[in-house]
Structure 1
Amino acid sequence: MTAEERKVIFASSLGTVFEWYDFYLYGSLAAIIAKQFFAGLDAGSAFIFALLAFAAGFIVRPFGAIFFGRLGDMIGRKYTFLVTILIMGLSTFIVGILPTYASIGVAAPVILIVLRLLQGLALGGEYGGAATYVAEHAPHGKRGAYTAWIQTTATLGLFLSLLVILGTRTWTGEDDFAAWGWRIPFIVSIALLAISVWIRLSMNESPAFKKMKEEGKTSKAPLKESFGQWRNLKIVILALIGLTAGQAVVWYTGQFYALFFLTQALKVDGATANLLIAASLVIGTPFFLVFGSLSDRIGRKPIIMLGCLLGALTYFPVFKMLTEAANPDLAKAQATSQVIVAADPAECSFQFNPTGTKKFTSTCDIAKQKLAGASVSYDNQETPGQPAVIKVGTTEIKVAVSAEDVAAAKAAAEQKLADLKAAPTPDEKAIAAATAGLKAVSDEKTAKDAVLTSKLKAALKAAGYPEKADPAKMNKGLIVAILVYLVILVTMVYGPIAAMLVEMFPTRIRYTSMSLPYHIGNGWFGGLLPTTAFAIVAQTGNMYNGLWYPIIIAAATFVIGMLFVRETKDVDIYAGD
């Protein structure tokens, strides 16, 4: 590798790491951003809108791919992805100095969402530019190895954002960080922007584009050529459904859904889960380069297709192994004390409510909401015409709480509080908790809910369901091994993908053509995976059923890719221009 080639890879990768750093900062700080910018809403709705603003960045990525891809094919790779990094960097910096809802009211969240949209548009133009630029500098036979460096950048950007946040949190303390310290990671990004822009200004245009421009063969209408002519449009469609859709769901399952599953379903505390994910990324990230280089020898297609196939075949057993390793008490309870919601199906609503506006009031809905809130998997049993009952092993709990139940619970709470106060050495914390419990069952609005919650909690505890994962019982070595396997699947599908997408399209429309399927696949199929998987889990009750989403898409990509997508490693990327 020459010094110039190293500079190309370093500059392209550094800029893309920076862009991913900016993108993930927002997601990592969503809870704080919700309080700062959506304070006019209740806490639950504020967090939901903060996450929707984060999702907006994914949704607009394909539009950024179209807009900046067109520019890249008309005026050049270098200047286009110089513009994208400026937009991303300045948008991130402005978030760091943006007045909050308390200062300027509703204008604050509006401006924030506009900045998120700009970040998504910029990221839509960045990846295609970086991948195209590196591939067009790479010697024939080494494009997989060279572009694999670009593939590491999302992981490294995530690392960098977490590292800066952790350092700032430690320096400022939690209270100050929540008040003003959260701005620092956004503000310091201006230094990274300056370095990235300075390096990119010193770079030369890609030789493939320069040659094409000298010959007067640049496209005058790249959008029309890319999507208005069937011979190219069919390749764009195949690139989406036969490559990037499967690649995206495998990637998001391995790096994001695994973290969500650990914290939400298995009740592992956030700090431990982050450390376990970080350890797996440290071990697994070099495999991007391994599979990128291997694809230069045996081909891109076999590696990507094998990654999709392994994901589709192994996700269920692997995630069940993860449950046994991270929360063995939960795995044992699920095996010995099945939880069932027996209810009239006519009473059961669709349980997905992203805006927080729908009220679930039927006994079936209340039962499912309670179990979802406790992260308990359950099966559904139809009992037409009957009010809902929650069965925990052999214990049955009526969801419709009677006045007698409330009276009995109130009497028990009063007696418990009296006993605690009469103890020789009163426990102030226990007395405070008992007082809160008595207040809950005494208030007319909360009494029935408090009684149901108490009964369900007692039944789950008796059946062995843990409130959280026990760190002493975790098999952390096995957890990391499982997570590393999931990351290796990510590297299989993602390591060779940039080279393959570049090789599928001619130089004159390459930036436009490859960017769109990549960002629809990763922005929509991948970026919306956690939301979609959550909807499936919420509706069916089984915490593993969310895996059907990545399994079905990865399997479809495997079949379509094997049948219709051709190998590209020996393609001359200058041919046909």
Structure 2
Amino acid sequence: MNSKPQYLTEKMIVEQTPKSEAGTKTLLSVIGASSLGTLIEWYDFYIFGSLAAILSTQFFPKDNPTAALLSTLATFAAGFIVRPFGALVFGRLGDLVGRKYTFLVTLVLMGGSTFFIGLIPGYETIGFWAPLLVLLLRLIQGLALGGEYGGAATYVAEYAPKGRRGYYTSFIQTTATLGLFVSLGVIVATRQVVGVEDFAKWGWRIPFVLSALLVGVSIYIRLKMSESPVFTKLKSEGKTSKNPLAESFGKRENLKMVLLALFGATMGQGVIWYTGQFYALSFIQKACNVEFVQSNIVVAVALLIATPFFVIFGGLSDKIGRKGIMLAGMALGILTYRPIYEKMYSLTDLKAKQELTEQTKVDVKKALVANTADSLITTTTTKAFADGTAYKEVSKQTVPADASVEKPKPEVVKSVTMSTGDLMMMIFLVLLQVLYVTMVYGPIAAFLVELFPTRIRYTSMSLPYHIGNGVFGGLVPFIATALVATATKANETAAAAGVAPVVSKAYLEGLWYPIIVASVSFIIGLLYLSNRAKAVERD
């Protein structure tokens, strides 16, 4: 007697499902509704990272800007780290009760937590309650996102015709990048409308509060959606899993697929994704000191140009397989990240540019600090360069009225506005990185869906995806920034001791993390992944 569980395969289900249920019109509406909701969740999740530099001054002490930024990035990363737990909780729920209602819950949680982040008073008002409340809401965001992606990808895949999963699920893959693009667009537009100073004071809250409206629209649309016909048929036959967690991770064959998906695919895909988009933005703003609006324009234009390639590579994977495309994206990142970032840095290296000294201006203003006798001296220095680059430095020094009180460190903000030629080159360099992202990310949803049977698919695919992206990928900005800070400090210590720098190019040290992780994933994937998943043949 055969004791193996008898899975109702998707081929059997589709043959028993009326064609009208999976018609072209229905499929397009499924993709549209799923993609819109997922895009909004990514928007909610990413505005925090996009505003990291400003949030560090709002929710953390200002006396140590580097520590404040690292604390903000750590809070940002915390949302990623809990994503696997969200995958377990909501994945199990999705395999038990259905895909539709599960990612309705995740949408409400994500939108609500984002909205309330925009309402939290700053550190100067409520002290350490500010970062604690932000951290709590950030964790809720992470849990919600952990349940959203697997549901949306599974939902679309179970509507897609056989042999076209890569193409149709790739539309879901565009939502992460488009969510980042929309977040950058809303931030830049809000900043332009309210002004630089007001945006830093209170205008940054608008993109968070706006989430409530976007989520409301998406909830209305998703309520009109029907459950996946594949899951509906499975449920009507009484063959859904009674314990998705035990079946996914307690059975050796499924656990092996989960681990292989994690270490051979999503781990490498995750670091490529977050290096090419988030770390690129952070590097441009912090290492290159590119002016805020211009830095966001660089990334936004690159994202917009590259987004169609998610669909191109997703569709191509239906024809030639997922493995080769994903591994090629990893390999390109491994081999080219350091030269790309070295070139990015050189574009704004003022030491290599000819300064037009006659155009240098220094403006000094002195005023009293509100409600004190202390003085605030603001020094604004502007410089011009022969290639069209402009530089601006604003230094704010508080001078205590009591001469016996030590002066605090001045607050210094530097910004470089690139010339048109350098701007185009910077966009191209970021575009290259985002193209690597489309190669690893475009086919990944179909790859994961095809590894696991329908009854445990939501749970099984969600965990490796969110560990790979949430933990390995989500830690890229924090670990990379910390590596650069460590190398910079080592060089400063060496300079103080009168010896040669410990690291020749400290600004590139952060790249070792994604390069090493992607290399490990590439080797495992090359050796152990098959080009087409077993589930394709079984279905």
**Structure 2 counterpart of 1:191, which letter?**
L
For residue 375 of structure 1, what is the aligned residue in structure 2? none
The question of whether the paired residues in 2 share the 8 Å contact of 1:73 and 1:219 is answered with yes
SS of 1:544 mapped into structure 2: helix
For residue 557 of structure 1, what is the aligned residue in structure 2? 521
For residue 434 of structure 2, what is the aligned residue in structure 1? 487
> Alpha-carbon deviations, 1:116-137, whole Å to 9, x = none?
1111100010001111101111
CA RMSD of aligned residues (A): 3.2
For residue 529 of structure 1, what is the aligned residue in structure 2? 476
Cα distance in 2 between the residues matched to 1:181 and 1:429: 23
C-alpha change, 1:525 and 1:259, in structure 2 (3 Å) is: same
Cα distance in 2 between the residues matched to 1:536 and 1:93: 33
**Residue 466 of structure 2 corresponds to residue 519 of structure 1:** yes
Cα distance in 2 between the residues matched to 1:118 and 1:331: 46
Gaps spanning 5+ residues in structure 2: where? 1-22, 355-378, 382-393, 488-502
The question of whether the paired residues in 2 share the 8 Å contact of 1:503 and 1:573 is answered with no
The question of whether the paired residues in 1 share the 8 Å contact of 2:90 and 2:102 is answered with yes
> Alpha-carbon deviations, 1:166-188, whole Å to 9, x = none?
23223333343344333322222
SS of 1:137 mapped into structure 2: coil
Quote how far apart the aligned CAs of 1:162 are.
Answer: 2.0
Cα distance in 2 between the residues matched to 1:196 and 1:205: 16
C-alpha change, 1:559 and 1:78, in structure 2 (3 Å) is: same
**Residue 316 of structure 2 corresponds to residue 316 of structure 1:** no
Quote how far apart the aligned CAs of 1:47 are.
Answer: 4.3
Cα distance in 1 between the residues matched to 2:438 and 2:396: 53
Quote how far apart the aligned CAs of 1:429 are.
Answer: 8.0
After the TM superposition, which of the residue ranges 278-287 and 236-245 deviates more from structure 2? 278-287
For residue 547 of structure 1, what is the aligned residue in structure 2? 511
For residue 258 of structure 2, what is the aligned residue in structure 1? 236
**Structure 1 counterpart of 2:523, which letter?**
V
Give the TM-score normalised by structure 1. 0.73
**Structure 1 counterpart of 2:294, which letter?**
T
Quote how far apart the aligned CAs of 1:189 are.
Answer: 1.7
**Structure 2 counterpart of 1:482, which letter?**
L
Question: Which of 327, 334, 337 is matched with 1:305 structurally?
Answer: 327
The question of whether the paired residues in 2 share the 8 Å contact of 1:323 and 1:331 is answered with no
C-alpha change, 1:436 and 1:240, in structure 2 (3 Å) is: closer
For residue 166 of structure 2, what is the aligned residue in structure 1? 144
Question: Which of 524, 538, 551 is matched with 2:485 structurally?
Answer: 538
Question: Which of 248, 266, 278 is matched with 2:288 structurally?
Answer: 266
Cα distance in 1 between the residues matched to 2:165 and 2:426: 34
Identity rate, percent: 54
Cα distance in 2 between the residues matched to 1:434 and 1:55: 30
For residue 463 of structure 1, what is the aligned residue in structure 2? none
Question: Which of 18, 24, 33 is matched with 2:40 structurally?
Answer: 18
Q: Hey, which bits of structure 1, 4+ residues long, moved more than 6 A?
A: 433-439, 442-447
Quote how far apart the aligned CAs of 1:148 are.
Answer: 0.6
Cα distance in 2 between the residues matched to 1:548 and 1:435: 35
Larger radius of gyration: 1
For residue 395 of structure 1, what is the aligned residue in structure 2? none
C-alpha change, 1:194 and 1:266, in structure 2 (3 Å) is: closer
Gaps spanning 5+ residues in structure 1: where? 334-427, 451-466
C-alpha change, 1:44 and 1:117, in structure 2 (3 Å) is: same
SS of 1:205 mapped into structure 2: coil
C-alpha change, 1:43 and 1:562, in structure 2 (3 Å) is: closer
For residue 246 of structure 1, what is the aligned residue in structure 2? 268
The question of whether the paired residues in 2 share the 8 Å contact of 1:208 and 1:574 is answered with no
Cα distance in 2 between the residues matched to 1:132 and 1:10: 14
For residue 448 of structure 2, what is the aligned residue in structure 1? 501
The question of whether the paired residues in 2 share the 8 Å contact of 1:32 and 1:178 is answered with yes
After the TM superposition, which of the residue ranges 534-543 and 242-251 deviates more from structure 2? 534-543
The question of whether the paired residues in 1 share the 8 Å contact of 2:166 and 2:317 is answered with yes
For residue 213 of structure 2, what is the aligned residue in structure 1? 191
Quote how far apart the aligned CAs of 1:151 are.
Answer: 0.8
SS of 1:204 mapped into structure 2: coil
| Superposition pairs of residues 470-485 of structure 1, within 5 angstroms | 471-472=418-419, 475-485=422-432
> Alpha-carbon deviations, 1:345-392, whole Å to 9, x = none?
xxxxxxxxxxxxxxxxxxxxxxxxxxxxxxxxxxxxxxxxxxxxxxxx
The question of whether the paired residues in 2 share the 8 Å contact of 1:65 and 1:124 is answered with yes
> Alpha-carbon deviations, 1:88-135, whole Å to 9, x = none?
111122223344556655444433322111111000100011111011
For residue 163 of structure 1, what is the aligned residue in structure 2? 185
C-alpha change, 1:289 and 1:331, in structure 2 (3 Å) is: farther
Give the TM-score normalised by structure 2. 0.78
After the TM superposition, which of the residue ranges 254-263 and 232-241 deviates more from structure 2? 254-263
| Superposition pairs of residues 97-116 of structure 1, within 5 angstroms | 97-101=119-123, 106-116=128-138
The question of whether the paired residues in 1 share the 8 Å contact of 2:451 and 2:533 is answered with no
Cα distance in 2 between the residues matched to 1:317 and 1:429: 34
For residue 532 of structure 2, what is the aligned residue in structure 1? 568
For residue 421 of structure 1, what is the aligned residue in structure 2? none
The question of whether the paired residues in 2 share the 8 Å contact of 1:249 and 1:550 is answered with yes
SS of 2:241 mapped into structure 1: coil
Cα distance in 2 between the residues matched to 1:549 and 1:139: 39
For residue 456 of structure 1, what is the aligned residue in structure 2? none
Cα distance in 2 between the residues matched to 1:256 and 1:429: 30
Cα distance in 2 between the residues matched to 1:438 and 1:178: 23
